[in-house]
Amino acid sequence: MPTEKKRIQKDIVIIGAGMAGLTAALYAGRMNLSVLVLENALVGGQIANATGIENYPGLPNVAGKDLIATVQQQAESFGAVVDEFDTIEKVSLQEERKIVETESCIYEASSVIIASGMERRKLPLSEERKYAGKGVHYCELCDGHLYQDKVIAVMGGGNAAVDAANFLTKYAKKLYLLHRSKLRADESAQEKLRSNEKVEILLETDVIALKGEKRLESVEVLDKATGEKKELAIDGIFVNIGVTPNTALFQADIKLAEDGRIAAGEDCRTNIPGVFAAGDVRHKEVRQLTTAAADGTTAAILAEKYLAQIRKGK
């Protein structure tokens, strides 16, 4: 007979422990609210993989994991509880008391802040699963050190891809940047990469096959301009081809924008009273570390006001 899950009451449950979620926890905890942060993976989200953040005010060239650790410590110092590697199974957000059920517990809260962020898109090739962790990678900070003096490829053309390529040059003896179109990354990051003699940039190029026996040994690429195919001998490829918002859990309750992110304005309010969206999961034009922190601040303050209104009504 299955054990009945423990029910725990909170003022606010925050889903996601990236910059937005942890900032919300910091503010909510400081307002003497009972706060739980749920994270199904490592604390930090996408930013934890950043090796050097140069545009966070007051903290030049700080490592992402160090910045996140500091914010987590601040949040916990005000009483917030951060629970990582706890998978959320389902949510029910329509009623005044919101339900968030994980593998181990059922949490009830009057307000929920969704800061679930995004995840990297997988390489859309049938062989991807065969080589995952055996030459195909998605985290340069985690796995880059495995490729000391090796030949590496990076796939993608945005800031994440170019930043990853710049970082990986510290290990690689040769690095290919492969992208199907033009680069979209900041010019300063592009210039840094282009000036590195280890790097060869192949634009208008698609990866069409992965090859190797027990692990990845080469990739087949297609030059879209000429139609020519060729094989590149590489030891590993790091994939940065975009992200998908983590909204699958909330689709039954929450209104989504056309891009799949949560429809919420600058006040972070969703279509459900007491439910807020913060950070990259929210539909907005600018998505930066500073705007994630701003969203977390806004969501926590307005959640506290919502809770005060509920108490006043009772």
Catalytic positions, written as ranges: 139, 142-143
Cβ neighbour number for residue 31 with a 10 Å cutoff:
18
Instruction: Please report the sign of the dihedral spanned by the C-alpha atoms of residue 259, residue 261, residue 266, residue 271.
Output: positive
Give the HSE-up count for residue 27: Cα atoms under 13 Å, Cβ half-sphere: 20
Instruction: Give strand pairing partners of 210.
Output: 219
Asked if 296 and 27 count as a contact pair (C-beta separation under 8 A), the reply is yes
Alpha-carbon gap, residue 227 to 232, rounded angstroms = 16
Asked if 177 and 193 count as a contact pair (C-beta separation under 8 A), the reply is yes
CA dihedral 15, 244, 20, 108 (to 10 degrees): -10
Q: What would the DSSP string read from start to end of 81-127?
A: EEEES--EEEEE-SSSSEEEEESSEEEEEEEEEE---EEEPPP-STT
Alpha-carbon gap, residue 38 to 111, rounded angstroms = 14
- Report residue 81 as tokens: 């509880």
Asked if 272 and 251 count as a contact pair (C-beta separation under 8 A), the reply is no
- Report residue 230 as tokens: 């060729």
Specify the DSSP class assigned to residue 2. Answer: P
